[in-house]
Amino acid sequence: MLDLKFIRNNVELVRQAIINKNEKADLDALLSIDDQRRKLQFEFDNLKAHQNSVSAIIAQRKKAGEKIDNELTEMSKVAEEIKGLANQLGATNAELEKLLLTIPNIPQADVPVGKDETANKVIKVWGEPKQFSFTPKDHLELAIQNNLLDLPRGAKISGSGFPVYTGEGARLERYLINFMLEYHCQKHNYTELMVPLAVNRKTMTGTGQLPKLEEDMYQIEKDDLFLIPTAEVPVTNIYTDEILIWKDLPKRYVAYTPCFRREAGSYGKETRGLQRLHQFNKVELVQFTEPEKSAEALEEILANAEAILQAFNLHYRVVTLCTGDLSFASQKTYDLEVWAPGTGKYLEVSSVSNFGEFQARRANIRFKDKTGKVRHLHTLNGSGVATPRLLIAILETYQQEDGTIKLPSVLDPFLRLTL
């Protein structure tokens, strides 16, 4: 969340950020509640000071054998007033906290302003689209021909958006995950974590999924737990309510998890095959850094994710998201979009984001800097990468005229076969 003092001192900046991010936060209500809270706090502090002062006088007079009936009567009334103010303060603070959780992060100054994805900017293109001497098939045709997927049975088991990978399709999915984990650990110096797939409400709030995105989450209501939408959630929250030391930063973690998303707002979007799922696999990269080094870390995570696509020699582009396409918690985000020649379009395969201290404030993650001062650190993450659209690009790029798939040689140590 944003620092309340920062909001007070930068009201118009925050108001413009709410507009630019297409959010509906009520900044005026928050400022009004904050004003009420400060007035109540002022009254409370004055009464407590008066209570302490009179209590000292009572003690002196009692010791001297003087009457203290009037003072005791007055203090009884003051105690009731203090109790009432404390209750009001508690309710006001709760309401203020609730409103603070609705205020989005401030986009960085270099983020393009725009209402939606049409204002995103392509900043890099890598490789060339593969040319075919035949009309390439899309991944679903290829998967069916090669017995890699069984979507009808997945739908029978759980509903649409829950794929079943079969035979060599299951093996390929597993080896893609292993390849990416080993790549990031060995070449990019990440430490692997294996984390819970169900998290509590505090954890989901810490990274910014709640309260805004609750409708998109799968909830276990009896236990008030949520299936994770991304490994970002449990990995970022491993340091909740902790203070790290500057010399131990940055911390780099990689984790594979299944991801669960209801996709409540995806009506009308392309859902063919593996393009949009309720359950999918993803390898996630998370970094904790000193604030002064987070901009550099963002570029590093982007390069780490790009390296996976380059290893498979897949044509892709890097896109800077505009303000209207940024997530609620992000300051700046790059999307990696891989080219799918059979589908005939670019597909987002990774988002790489810098959250500044936004998540760290919500989750109370801090560090002690070189001077000994305790500050909020910066958190960043990026997909490194999600498997469904990576698999789409690999199948469609490496298909043969007869519909078989000749997998890239980089997978040889993991999977020695031609589909």
Q: Is 389 a catalytic residue?
A: yes
Q: Is 261 a catalytic residue?
A: yes
Q: Which residue of the set 37, 261, 361, 362 is catalytic?
A: 261
Chain-centroid distance of CA 233 in Å reads: 6
Distance linking the first and last C-alpha atoms of the chain:
49
CA pair distance 76, 84, nearest whole angstrom: 13
Q: Which residues pair with 121 in a beta bridge?
A: 320
Q: Which residue of the set 284, 327, 389, 396 is catalytic?
A: 389
Q: Which residue of the set 37, 252, 276, 366 is catalytic?
A: 276
In this structure, the number of other CB atoms found within 10 A of the CB of residue 137 comes to 20
Contact 382, 353 (CB under 8 A): yes
Chain-centroid distance of CA 152 in Å reads: 31
Q: Is 348 a catalytic residue?
A: yes
Q: Which residue of the set 43, 174, 348, 375 is catalytic?
A: 348
CA pair distance 90, 82, nearest whole angstrom: 12
Q: Which residue of the set 351, 353, 362, 383 is catalytic?
A: 351
Determine whether 148 is exposed, middle or buried from the number of CB atoms within 10 Å of its CB (0-12, 13-18, 19+).
buried
> Could you give the residue numbers annotated as active site?
261, 276, 348, 351, 389
